[in-house]
């Protein structure tokens, strides 16, 4: 597993924060940003993309993960997420990625990969989704 320095962690969290600027969230007014760090140092951002047909909304984490994977098959070293904005009071326990995104993370991240959450503690993917569903491919 790659060791991530504190400064790289901060850069990644800042990238997740920056991604929220272009959040398309006119229905919820709830911006989320995510940033994926690849082993080669590249960072890919994503933000939530909502739709009038609500169920078609795609979370920031999945946008970032799919964008990273589209550009490169390099291993993912870390993921950072920035949830909501300063006017939204969120309990720390709620500042976590949704279940669907955790399952998608399982596809691309190792269980020990860190997931940094802006304003909250960090988790490994295994802490977020233990006993995850996988197929042996
Ligand atoms: N959202 C994310 O982008 N990531 C999550 O992990 C949870 C929720 C988005 C979806 C929707 O646009 C808004 O937050 C409110 O649910």
Interval 66-102: pLDDT, tens? 999 999 999 999 999 999 988 888 898 899 999 999 9
Residue with tokens 């979370």: 59
Of 108, 99, 112, which is closest to residue 64 (Cα–Cα)? 108
Exposure string (b/e) for 34-61, b if CB count within 10 Å is 16 or more? bbbbbeeeebbbbbbbbeeeeeebbbbb
Of all residues in the chain, what percent carry a pLDDT higher than 70? 99
* Known catalytic residue at 61: yes
pLDDT of residue 104: 98
Q: Which of 9, 14, 50, 61 is catalytic?
A: 61
CATH number of 6-128: 3.40.140.10
| Ligand 1 near 50 CB (within 6 A) | yes
pLDDT of residue 86: 83
Helix or strand holding residue 103 (H, E): helix 99-108
Rounded to 5 degrees, φ, ψ at 122 are -95, 155
pLDDT of residue 87: 87
Residue ranges per domain, the chain? 6-128
> How much is the average pLDDT of 48-69?
98
């Amino acid at each position: 597993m790659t060791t991530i320095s504190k400064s790289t962690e901060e850069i990644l969290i800042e990238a997740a924060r920056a991604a929220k600027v272009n959040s398309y969230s006119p229905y919820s007014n709830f911006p989320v940003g995510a940033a994926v760090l690849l082993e080669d140092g590249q960072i890919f951002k994503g933000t939530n993309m909502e739709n009038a047909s609500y169920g078609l909304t795609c979370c920031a984490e999945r946008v970032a993960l799919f964008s990273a994977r589209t550009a490169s098959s390099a291993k993912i070293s870390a993921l950072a997420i920035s949830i909501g904005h300063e006017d939204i009071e969120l309990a720390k326990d709620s500042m976590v990625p949704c279940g669907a995104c955790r399952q998608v993370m399982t596809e691309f991240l190792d269980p020990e990969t860190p997931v940094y959450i802006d304003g909250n503690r960090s988790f490994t993917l295994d802490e977020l989704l233990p006993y995850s569903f996988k197929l042996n491919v």
